[in-house]
Structure 1
Amino acid sequence: MFELPTISLKGKVSETEWQMRIDLAACYRLAYLYGWDDLIYTHISARIPGTDEFLINAFGLTFDEITASNLVKIDIDGNILDIESPYEINPAGFTIHSAVHAVRHDAICVMHLHTNELISVASLKEGLLPLSQYSAFALASLSYHGYEGLAVNEDEKARLQADLGTTNFMLLRNHGGLTCGQTIGDAFMHMYDLTRACQVQLQVMATGAEVIEVEQSIVDGIKAQANVVHTGLTGGQKSWPSMLRKVYRMDPSFAE
């Protein structure tokens, strides 16, 4: 058994960065809890507030091994800024994230996952259908990006940026899903809604029965309704404290 290097950055970085590290590590642990991980692949990145520095997972660690201290700090080009870090990142894996962070300064957190449900719906010609309340949340701010192979070509960034626009949900054809959020909690809740929407769609389609679609007028008004439900806050702001408590109960080592 190979033991991970012992790293502790608590007290060695700003309070703002440390809190961001805790939230992002918690998000990775939640992705593992919900079965959204893909071995050591896929990524969740977050901008450290007030900077052009980002946090992302160390390449080679599974999501249940991610901690606040072993997250890697990088710049927009993926260069590692943590001089003492023993870890590397997957340069190809950051291509998509850097494309989004470069043009979407409101996207503090970007989640990109490869779950079966996301890939399946992203591979359907009609894409996500308005079949559930979850799909209404996603369809209110959804875009698509065509598959171009592994995300290693620099010139794909401009096309991904154009396709994403100002949306917070994206299905990458034949590939997976992506969500953006003004907080880590927002990006997580967006991914939760998108994943549930895809799961429900596949289950409904599997019945072969005639479906009832949500009317477009309801989809158009869903943002205003969500604002009422969340009393002026975002879904992530309302739910994230409870998600943090869940991760602390599950394994508090994420916050080390």
Structure 2
Amino acid sequence: MSVTALAGDRRPAKYSEQEWRLRVELAACYRLVEHFGMADLVYNHITVRLPDPVDGKEVFLINGFGRHYTEITASNLLRVDIDGKALDQDDYPVNGPGYVIHSAIHRARHDVACIIHTHSRAGCGVAALKDGLAPLDQQSMQFHRRIAYHDLEGIATDLGEQERLIADLGGHNAMILRNHGLLTCGRSVAEAFRRIYYLERACRLQLDVMASGGAIAVPSEKVAEHTARQWEEGSAGQGTVDAIEWPALVRLMEKKDPSFAT
């Protein structure tokens, strides 16, 4: 079933078609992050910007703090405005660090619709390496000289960190939060998920290669840059994200547990 059909079949009347589609896609993304082993108990967040402001303020969807990713559904996602005010009554609150990180990016980067932040073991492992991510295969080369780094300042509860986080992110769509984890941005939920999937994969690969003890073959700067541009220009399949990859992933989640679309 397509995302559109899946969303349309179960849409409550109080949601517009566009908001409900975003809710279904975001809930599917939470389930996918858990499915691929990137979740951290009830922590971390994935957000998507809603198209219409409320009382003149931008609004994004986020998980209620305390729900496991397998419990996230389209209807229990919370709306929060850019100033951190929860717009829905719920037993699960909006998590402070989630607001600090995600609201900063949503406020500064209007080209970004979706943000994913993880604390995976591999992501935290590479985040602890002084030299960060290495371009070891075709997939990881998409991040070659295209990934930002932000130094740890403690648990992200200080609003003052937002300015430094945004300055470090700049125009990049992927970031390694040193000694902390990973973050990706996208113009759609599908694009942000693809980035976190491949960034996570790149981190796992790098740690596996380092642990092997063998001599590491690092491609030349010319090859790494050429491959990164192939990803950007679409010859490596960038155009397949929304049309081919994402529907297949949504179908995977529907087969596993269709409750995310309720």
Q: Same fold (TM over 0.5)?
A: yes
CA contact (8 A) 1:186 1:234 kept: no
Equivalent pairs: percent with the same residue? 45
> 1:126 is matched with which residue: 128, 131, 147?
131
> 2:30 is matched with which residue: 22, 28, 31?
28
Q: Which amino acid aligns with 1:12?
A: K
2:142 match: 137
> 2:68 is matched with which residue: 52, 62, 79?
62
1:80 aligns with 2:82: no
Gaps of 5+ in 2: 1-9
CA contact (8 A) 1:24 1:68 kept: yes
Aligned counterparts of 2:220 and 2:38: Cα–Cα separation in 1: 30
SS across alignment from 1:132: coil
SS across alignment from 2:85: coil
CA contact (8 A) 1:53 1:74 kept: yes
SS across alignment from 1:45: strand
Q: Is the deviation greater in 233-242 or in 28-37?
A: 233-242
Cα distance, 1:237 vs structure 2: 4.5
Aligned counterparts of 1:79 and 1:218: Cα–Cα separation in 2: 47
In the superposition, the TM-score normalised over structure 1's length comes to 0.92
In the superposition, the TM-score normalised over structure 2's length comes to 0.90
CA contact (8 A) 1:48 1:54 kept: yes
2:21 match: 19
1:10 aligns with 2:12: yes
Aligned counterparts of 1:63 and 1:71: Cα–Cα separation in 2: 11
Cα distance, 1:236 vs structure 2: 4.7
2:121 match: 116
Gaps of 5+ in 1: 1-7
2:97 match: 92
> 1:179 is matched with which residue: 184, 201, 212?
184
Aligned counterparts of 1:222 and 1:106: Cα–Cα separation in 2: 24
1:158 match: 163
1:41 aligns with 2:43: yes
CA contact (8 A) 2:135 2:141 kept: yes
CA contact (8 A) 1:131 1:212 kept: yes
Aligned counterparts of 2:103 and 2:197: Cα–Cα separation in 1: 22
Size of the aligned set, in residue pairs, is: 247
1:5 match: none
Q: Is the deviation greater in 68-77 or in 131-140?
A: 131-140
> 1:253 is matched with which residue: 247, 256, 259?
259
